[in-house]
């Protein structure tokens, strides 16, 4: 592997702490991913991306900056990547899934907020994330209280811009969000020095829609029985899509899909017939948060779908009928597409319940595991409604709440195994 020390030094990273993070990843990846049997050959690309996680792609970002391009960091799918790409910017997801930075974050932030926020904030404090270090602007949003108050603190460390996401979906909220997109467009133009034209926005939307379509195709293929890919392997391209080059990622996902189609045609699955099929619903899971998938799939079940922003919510709707010449109409389209993303920060959020039920049917799910990150109030509270709703529909549900630590793995495994056993007897 290329030596990236100079690049990381130039990005003002703490190389010693960074080594601790990077050294832990190969072992975790080996014991979680590489031990799986019968993996699709096309997963080799994603294995490579993980082996280069802070290398090759970061080098591309640095080259982009050298040519005058700008990097934008985001923590939510409501940040409109189309607008960034239309101004020749690159958008990278900064949500973090590692425990290593949490202790440092807790020296500043309260302990009882969700690990996703603490992990990401700790990455910045510890200077161990090159994506964070490369950012010219970090874009936050007001989805949950934990995030919106953290942005105020994070702005002491990095240039921040905050978008106000409404929490209902009335006409007035749609107008507010459309106005936020227009204000953000202006901000992106100011930072990049590039005017966003209708044609550039339309091209960016087409590019990102092709990535969404490829990921949707991957998910659609998981509806097959037997399922041609493990949940762990299917999760990875979604996680990687938050930082990889959109065009390359789309090509690689399409290659993976072609292989899965051939597997389906030949009735090749990754698990034996009648393996219980699980839908995971809830908080996003970002690299290297593979804990729940790993427990489920080493306990005799297979994850066939994630109802999450690292899952179906990432591509649940596409802009169609884009008017290439009308910028305002395109912005409205982006707003409408995004407002179909049923994050638990919205109230009421009945559409999410219906979406979960639809997914259960489409993916022929035997049971749902609702996953909330500890202290994530929106998802923990919404789990109460999900339980009531799925009980009425007679769909078995297990509710889990956990963080990034491994201390509760055996306790969760016991609960998951009991749940799977119950599903197997049905
Ligand atoms: S779960 Fe909500 S806050 Fe998180 S990325 Fe999705 S939409 Fe944004
Ligand atoms: S996981 Fe929950 S608490 Fe954490 S940032 Fe997302 S919505 Fe907020």
Residue 24 falls inside a structural domain: yes
Mean pLDDT of the chain: 96
Judge whether residue 426 has pLDDT over 80. Answer: no
Question: Which one of the ligands is nearest to 311 CA?
Answer: 1
Residue 273 falls inside a structural domain: no
Give the pLDDT of residue 316. Answer: 80
Residue to mutate (ligand 2; options 93, 110, 113, 379; most atoms within 8 A of CB): 379
Give the pLDDT of residue 425. Answer: 82
Q: What is the pLDDT of residues 106-145, one digit of tens each?
A: 999 999 999 999 999 999 999 999 999 999 999 999 999 9
Closest CA to 355 of 299, 319, 309: 309
Residue 23 falls inside a structural domain: yes
Distance (Å) from CA 148 to ligand 1 centroid: 12
Give the pLDDT of residue 2. Answer: 87
334 lines ligand 2 (CB under 6 A): no
Structure tokens at 277: 């099929």
Inter-residue long-range contacts of 324-330, CB under 8 Å, 24+ positions, other chains counted: 324/198, 324/199, 324/202, 325/198, 325/199, 326/198, 327/196, 327/197, 327/198, 327/201, 330/198, 330/201, 330/202, 330/205
Question: Mean of the pLDDT values across residues 21-46?
Answer: 97
Which strand ranges, in their side-by-side order, compose the sheet holding 160-163? 90-93, 71-74, 137-141, 160-163
Residue 65 falls inside a structural domain: yes
249 lines ligand 2 (CB under 6 A): no
Residues of the chain above pLDDT 70, percent: 99
Ligand 1, CB within 6 Å, residue ranges? 76-78, 143, 284, 309, 313, 341, 343, 345
Q: Closest ligand 1 atom to the C-alpha of 116?
A: 4
Distance (Å) from CA 343 to ligand 1 centroid: 6
Q: Closest ligand 2 atom to the C-alpha of 144?
A: 8
Distance (Å) from CA 112 to ligand 2 centroid: 12
Structure tokens at 422: 């119950």
Domain tally for the chain? Answer: 1
Q: What is the DSSP letter of 376?
A: -
144 lines ligand 2 (CB under 6 A): yes
Closest CA to 387 of 363, 368, 359: 368
Residue 115 falls inside a structural domain: yes
Distance (Å) from CA 126 to ligand 2 centroid: 21
Question: Mean of the pLDDT values across residues 153-182?
Answer: 98
Question: Mean of the pLDDT values across residues 39-57?
Answer: 98
373 lines ligand 2 (CB under 6 A): yes
> Where would I find the beta strands (DSSP E) of 258-396?
277-282, 302-307, 367-373
Question: Mean of the pLDDT values across residues 79-86?
Answer: 98
Q: Closest ligand 1 atom to the C-alpha of 345?
A: 2
Judge whether residue 320 has pLDDT over 80. Answer: no
Q: What is the pLDDT of residues 204-224, one digit of tens each?
A: 999 999 999 999 999 999 999
Nearest CA to ligand 2 atom 2: 376
* 62 C-beta neighbours (distance < 10 Å), count: 17
Sign of the C-alpha dihedral computed for residues 348, 354, 357 and 359 taken in this order = negative
283 lines ligand 2 (CB under 6 A): yes
Determine contact, residues 119/404, Cβ cutoff 8 Å.
yes
| Domain of 58, in residue numbers | 5-29+39-179
Give the pLDDT of residue 193. Answer: 98
Question: Which one of the ligands is nearest to 379 CA?
Answer: 2
Residue 267 falls inside a structural domain: no
Residue to mutate (ligand 2; options 76, 113, 114; most atoms within 8 A of CB): 114
Distance (Å) from CA 147 to ligand 2 centroid: 7
Residue to mutate (ligand 2; options 74, 102, 111, 146; most atoms within 8 A of CB): 146
**CATH of residue 50:** 3.40.50.11890
What gap in Å lies between CA 380 and CA 415, rounded to an integer? 18
Residue 388 falls inside a structural domain: no
Give 323's pLDDT tier (boundaries 50, 70, 90).
Answer: confident
What gap in Å lies between CA 205 and CA 74, rounded to an integer? 17
Distance (Å) from CA 372 to ligand 2 centroid: 9
Q: What is the pLDDT of residues 252-300, one digit of tens each?
A: 999 999 999 999 999 999 999 889 999 999 999 999 999 999 999 999 9
First-to-last alpha carbon distance for the chain, in angstroms, is: 50
Residue 119 falls inside a structural domain: yes
96 lines ligand 2 (CB under 6 A): no
Question: Which one of the ligands is nearest to 75 CA?
Answer: 1
| Residue 316 φ/ψ, nearest 5 degrees | -65, -20
pTM: 0.97
Question: Which one of the ligands is nearest to 338 CA?
Answer: 1
Residue to mutate (ligand 2; options 373, 377, 380, 403; most atoms within 8 A of CB): 373
Q: Closest ligand 2 atom to the C-alpha of 283?
A: 1
Question: Which one of the ligands is nearest to 145 CA?
Answer: 2
Cα–Cα distance list, 77 to 208, 212, 316 (Å): 12, 12, 11
Distance (Å) from CA 81 to ligand 1 centroid: 14
What gap in Å lies between CA 107 and CA 326, rounded to an integer? 49
Q: Does residue 349 sit in helix, strand or coil?
A: coil
Nearest CA to ligand 2 atom 3: 376
Give 319's pLDDT tier (boundaries 50, 70, 90).
Answer: low
């Amino acid at each position: 592997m290329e030596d990236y020390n100079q690049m990381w030094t130039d990005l003002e990273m703490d190389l010693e702490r960074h080594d601790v993070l990077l050294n832990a990843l190969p072992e975790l990846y080996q014991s979680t991913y590489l031990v799986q049997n019968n993996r699709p050959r096309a997963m080799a690309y994603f294995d490579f991306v993980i082996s280069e996680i802070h290398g090759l792609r970061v080098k591309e970002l640095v080259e982009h900056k050298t040519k005058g391009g700008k990097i934008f960091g985001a923590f939510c799918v409501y940040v409109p990547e189309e607008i960034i790409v239309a101004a020749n910017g690159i958008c990278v997801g900064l949500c973090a899934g590692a425990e290593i930075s949490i202790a440092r974050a807790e020296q500043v932030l309260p302990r009882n907020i969700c690990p996703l926020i603490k992990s990401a904030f700790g990455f910045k404090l510890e200077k161990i994330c090159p994506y964070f270090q490369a950012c010219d602007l970090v874009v936050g949003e007001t989805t949950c209280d934990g995030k919106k108050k953290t942005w105020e603190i994070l702005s002491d460390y990095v240039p921040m811009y905050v978008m106000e996401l409404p929490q209902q979906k009335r006409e007035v909220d749609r107008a507010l969000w459309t106005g936020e997109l227009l204000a953000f467009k202006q901000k992106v133009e100011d930072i990049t020095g590039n005017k966003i034209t209708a044609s550039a926005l339309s091209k960016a939307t087409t590019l990102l829609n092709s990535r969404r379509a490829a990921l949707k195709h991957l998910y659609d293929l998981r509806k097959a029985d037997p399922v041609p890919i493990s949940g762990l392997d299917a999760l990875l391209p979604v996680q990687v899509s938050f930082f990889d080059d959109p065009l390359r990622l789309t090509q690689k996902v399409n290659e993976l899909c072609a292989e899965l189609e051939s597997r389906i045609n030949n009735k090749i699955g990754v698990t034996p017939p009648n393996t219980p099929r699980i839908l995971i619903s809830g908080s996003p899971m970002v690299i290297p948060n593979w804990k729940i998938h790993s427990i489920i799939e080493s306990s005799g079940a297979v994850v066939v779908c994630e109802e999450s922003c690292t899952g179906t919510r990432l591509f649940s709707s596409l802009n169609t009928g884009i008017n290439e010449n009308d910028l305002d109409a395109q912005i409205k389209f982006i707003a409408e597409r995004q407002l179909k993303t049923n994050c638990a920060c919205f109230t009421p959020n009945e559409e999410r319940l219906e979406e979960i039920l639809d997914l259960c049917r489409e993916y022929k799910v035997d049971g749902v595991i609702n996953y909330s990150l500890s202290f994530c109030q929106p998802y923990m509270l919404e789990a109460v409604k999900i339980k009531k709703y799925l009980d009425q529909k007679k769909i078995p549900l297990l509710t889990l709440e956990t963080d990034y630590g491994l201390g509760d793995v055996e306790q969760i495994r016991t609960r998951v195994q009991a749940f799977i056993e119950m599903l197997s007897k049905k």
